[in-house]
A = this chain, B = another copy of it.
Amino acid sequence: MVQYSSTLDSAFTAVADPTRRGILERLGRREATITELAEAFDMTLTGLKKHVHVLETAGLVRTEKVGRVRTCRLGNRRLADESAWIANYHAMLDARLDSLGSFLERTKGDER
C-alpha cells in the first residue's frame, strides 16, 4: 500500500472540508468565478480564495485569471489514488475478518 504519498496527503486534506467538497460539486456542474463561489458559499473573497488555493495545490481545481476575473474549473486529478487507498484498506479489513472467521471455525472444531 502507498503509505508515504504527498499526493494522498494533499488530496485527502482538500476533501476533508465541507466547503471544499461543496466547491468541487459546484464546479462539477459548471465553471465559476471566485466571486460567484464566494456568493454561493456565503464567504468573504479572502476566505474562499484560501479554499480554492488548497484545492489547486491538490490538483483538484485549476484557475485562470483574465483581466480582474479569476475563473475556477475542475483540475485533472480524479481522486483515483485516494479511492485505491480506501479500496486496499477495505481488502485488508476483509482479509482480517476472513482469518478471524477461519480461526473461530477451527476453535469450534476443537470443542467437538
> Interface residues of A, CB < 8 Å — how many?
30
Copies in the complex: 2
Nearest CB in chain B: distance from A86 CB, A:
5
Restricting to A49-105, which residues have a CB under 8 Å from any CB of B? 74, 78-79, 82-83, 85-87, 89-90, 92-93, 96
Nearest CB in chain B: distance from A6 CB, A:
8
- Contact with A86, one of B9, B82, B89, B92 (Cβ below 8 angstroms): B82
B82 near A28 with CB under 8 A, answer no
Known contacts A1-B25, A3-B21, A3-B25; is A15 also within 8 Å of B93 by CB?
Answer: no
**Chain B neighbourhood of A47, CB < 8 A:** none
Restricting to A8-27, which residues have a CB under 8 Å from any CB of B? 8-9, 12-13, 15-18, 21-22, 24-25
Since A1-B25, A28-B92 are in contact, a sample of 4 more A-B pairs with Cβ atoms closer than 8 Å, ordered by chain A residue number, is A8-B16, A12-B15, A13-B13, A28-B89
